[in-house]
Each structure stands twice: as structure tokens, then as C-alpha cells.
Amino acid sequence: MIVIGGSSSVRLAREIAENLGCEFIQASTSRFPDGECYTKIEKEKLEGEVVIVQNTYPDGNLVEMLLIRDAAANLGAGKITMVVPYFGYARQDRLFKPGEPMSARVMCRILDAVCDRVVTIDLHKESTLDFFTHPHKDLKAAGAIADFFKGRGIDLVLAPDAGAAGRAEDVGKRMGVPHDHLKKTRLSGTEVRIAPAEMDCEGKNILIVDDMISTGGTIMAAAAALREAGALSVSVACTHGVFVGNALDKLNSSALSGVHCCNTLDSAASDISVAKIIAENLKGGCRCR
């Protein structure tokens, strides 16, 4: 097996290869003067299974992924596994209004067309997996998040909304602490309302877990509700730290005790690695469905 890293996932791809004890190649990617992507795999030939690690977000990274995949196939790669640490467009997984595309399904169809199997991590909704026809596996970052927070005095793990309740349960059970979820109403792309916390938060060190932080609106509102309810400290951990604009700065300068995310996207907060989880799955033949 050879692991090829795209430009969105250099550090993670290298770490996955280290965990697998296999060769790592960084695709050399640059841009033509008109902005089009150029990429090259510095290798005479490839054989056997090739794992390409690259996000589909932002849009340019999807094109880079497709080009790397073609370059790998041209060099003779046998089976191609695409590891997509952060799967863009996962939140547009249904038609919210007439006339819209089902973007998540479009992304799945593209991946189906270009590779033999797909590995994702904490897709926004499990149901998106139904759009794949090729073997696929959605891995969970809960184990890595729980390991990171074990021994850090967390009393309660909370999800900011019902949609993330299962993630809070998974992390809470692994840490051996109680879990629950808040009630969120989305008002717009940047605004959310979180209902006052009903659980006992008084004097507790609380960890909020979510699949992603984008604008940070959800986490800021959740943290405010928890402080209002008497929480002693509020930390946050998400799988995908998108941090649109200055979201990370805003979160870091808020009253949150810590902002942590997995290395599916690179940022100053991505200090939880999912490399081992991915490598173990690849080692085990993927255990796709």
C-alpha cells in the first residue's frame, strides 16, 4: 500500500502512512497562471493499492483530488482508495427548497465514479452513505476525542443539538462520564438559538462535542447557555474545524476553556489526530459496507 497526500491533507496523510508503516508520497501541486490546478506524482510507476488522502473542500481541492487520482491510475495504481477526511457539501443532503441540488449525493456520485472505495470521517449524517454504491466506510472520531480528554476533569459531555446527541453519547461513554444534548434552532446560516440548558450544569466542567464548527455560532450560543446555567468551564471538541473567517479567533477570545478539533482540516486548533483510526481501518482491509 502507498499513501499519497493531496495538498489539503499533507500532515494527516504522512501520519497515516507512518501508522501503516508504508511509503508516503506528497503529490506536487501548483497552480497555472489562470488558477487551474497542476499536479504530479514523483514516481516512475505505482502498483497495488494506492490510498489518496484529500478533502473535497474547498471546491479547488476536489479538482486536485480528481487530478491526483488520474495521475495515480496513469502510473499503474491497482485499487484506489480515497480517504476524504473532510467531505464538503455533506450538509446539503436533501432538498430543503424546490429547485435545489442534492449536493451531498452529487459528491458521492463523483467519488463513486473515480475510486474503488471511499473512507470518510464523521459525515454530517449517516444517511449520506446511502448515496454511495461502491464500498465505503464512515469512521468515527469519538475514540480520539475521548482519549484526548480523558483525565482532564470533564464532568459532562454535551451535544449542542439533537443531531449530535449520538456523538456526545459515544464520547461520554468512552470517557465514563454522563452525556446529554441541548436544543438548538437555526435562525440563519450564521445565527442559532440554543434553549436554556435543562440539565444540571452547576459547577461542572463541560465538554461540548459536534461534528463541525463553521462560523462558530452554534458553539458560542451553546457556551453562553451553559455559563448561564452555572457551568464552571466549557471546552469544545469537534471533528472538523472549518472555522470560517475569524471564527477560531472569536472562539479563542471567548470564555471557552479550550477549542480543539481533529486534523481532518489543518488549523491552529487541530490537535486531535485521527491518523491511527484511519490507518487501523485501512490495515483491516477497510471493513467497508
Minimum CB distance to ligand R5P, residue 207 (Å): 15
Q: Which is nearer to ligand R5P, 20 or 259 (CB)?
A: 259
Binding site for ligand R5P (CB under 6 A): 160, 163-164, 192, 210-218
Of the pair 7, 214, the CB lying nearest ligand R5P is at 214
- State yes or no: is 184 an active-site residue: yes
Beta bridge partners of 37: 31
The CB-of-214 to ligand R5P minimum distance in angstroms stands at 3
The cell for 34 is: 489562470
Minimum CB separation of residue 226 from ligand R5P in Å reads 15
CB of 57 to ligand R5P, least distance (A): 13
Given 184, 204, 250, 283, the catalytic residue: 184
CB closer to ligand R5P out of 117 and 167 = 167
Q: How many CA atoms are closer than 13 Å to the CA of 18, on its beta-carbon side? A: 10
User: Which residue, 66 or 261, has its beta carbon nearer to ligand R5P?
Assistant: 261
Distance CA 105, CA 92 (A): 9
Active site residues: 184
